[in-house]
Structure 1
Amino acid sequence: MRFEEAYEGCKSGCLTQAEAALLLGVCDRTFRRYRCKYAAGGLEALLDKRLTQASHRCAPVDEVMQLTEQYQRRYSDWNAKHFHTWYRKDGGTRSYTWVKSCLQESGLIKRVKKRGAHRKRRERSLLSGMMIHQDGSTHEWVVNQKWDLIVTMDDATNEH
């Protein structure tokens, strides 16, 4: 409905293409594409068909049912990784992620909390001199002479 109002306003001359596009929250080029689609097929042509069509990669329902029944019948106390290795040995062709997602969606295995970050930020030390960082690097400060620069930094106060 909102597109039709913007389209009619643009057609009658009350709105420019840029204003109509701004009203819809799209760029001028997208509005021009919408106009061409609307002229060719009406409002039906503007609908996003990706939302209504099933994916061509979607697994058949009977395959999903067979997988869940196999897990319940024989492997119910196994985790997804171990089950997937036996699934592949039995002739299964799907990926580990797909198998795990199917088992999670059916409620047969629990979703596991993500692991923490590898390197966690630590709190600074509270007392001066408690933790000292030292770094050394060689630079050519004077032509043809390389000297070492040693920096010592206090963790608590950032003093160098």
Structure 2
Amino acid sequence: MKFEDVYSRRTADKLTQEQAAEILGVSVRTVRRWEDRFEADGAEGLYDRRLGKLANNRVPTDTVMEMLTLFDSKYWDYTPKHFHEKLVGTPWLHPKLQLATSDAAKPWPDPARPPTWSSSPQAAPPPDGWRDAASGRVQS
């Protein structure tokens, strides 16, 4: 059901905000915000204001073009992974890219470090009739 239909039922006092929120699948607070925007700006107020805006963390176009030129000319035989490893630490690599590729930002574990679940080998089951060191009893 569209917001406008729910809004018309809300203004006719056929629905509460809680019921409207349940129908639309959003919180009550979101329904209140949407109603305020709809009353102020009409249907235009309900459009996502983020669309069409440029990201704040964009890499400059010149930097991207320089990187692509290097990849196509000087490092044509590198894979993207090796090319990235070559660029990390170079002064012209964009600081935001350096931050994104730092060790602190990696969501995966360090490949040189073994995973925690396999860091200790599984102990073999004790043989039959082994002696418990703490109590000295023979276990079977």
Q: TM-score range by the shorter chain?
A: 0.5 to 0.7
In the alignment, what sits opposite 2:116? Answer: 119
CA deviations on 1:103-126 (whole Å, 9 max, x unpaired) are xxxxxxxxxxx9596122589667
Uncovered stretches (5+) of structure 1, i.e. residues with no partner: 100-113, 135-149, 152-158
Q: For the structure 1 residues 98 and 68, does the alpha-carbon distance in structure 2 shift closer, same or farther, using more than 3 Å as the test?
A: farther
The structure with more strand, counted as a fraction of residues: 1
Aligned residues: 118
Question: Are 1:71 and 1:83, in contact at CA under 8 Å, matched by a contact in 2?
Answer: no
The 3 A distance-change label for structure 1 pair 129 and 11 is farther
Aligned position for 1:14: 14
Shift of 1:72: 2.3
Shift of 1:56: 2.9
SS of residue paired to 2:23: helix
Runs of 5+ unmatched residues, structure 2 = 102-109
The answer to whether the Cα contact below 8 Å between 1:38 and 1:45 also exists between their aligned partners in 2 is yes
**Does residue 23 of structure 2 align to residue 26 of structure 1?**
no
- What does residue 61 of structure 1 align with? 61
Q: Call closer, same or farther: CA 1:14–1:81 in 2, change over 3 Å.
A: same
RCO higher in structure (CA 8 A, sep ≥6): 1
Task: Calculate the aligned-residue CA RMSD, in Å.
Answer: 3.5
TM-score, length-scaled by structure 1: 0.57
Aligned pair partner of 1:96 in 98, 116, 128: 98
Shift of 1:59: 2.3
Q: CA separation in 2, counterparts of 1:77 and 1:97?
A: 26
**Whole-Å separation in 2 of the counterparts to 1:126 and 1:93:** 52
Normalising by structure 2, we get a TM-score of: 0.64
Q: Distance in 1 between matches of 2:114 and 2:76?
A: 31
How far apart, in 1, do the equivalents of 2:41 and 2:27 lie? 21
SS at match of 1:31: helix
**How far, CA to CA, are the matches of 1:23 and 1:44 in structure 2?**
21
Paired position in structure 2 for 1:81: 85
Question: Is residue 81–residue 96 contact of structure 1 (8 Å, CA) maintained in 2?
Answer: no
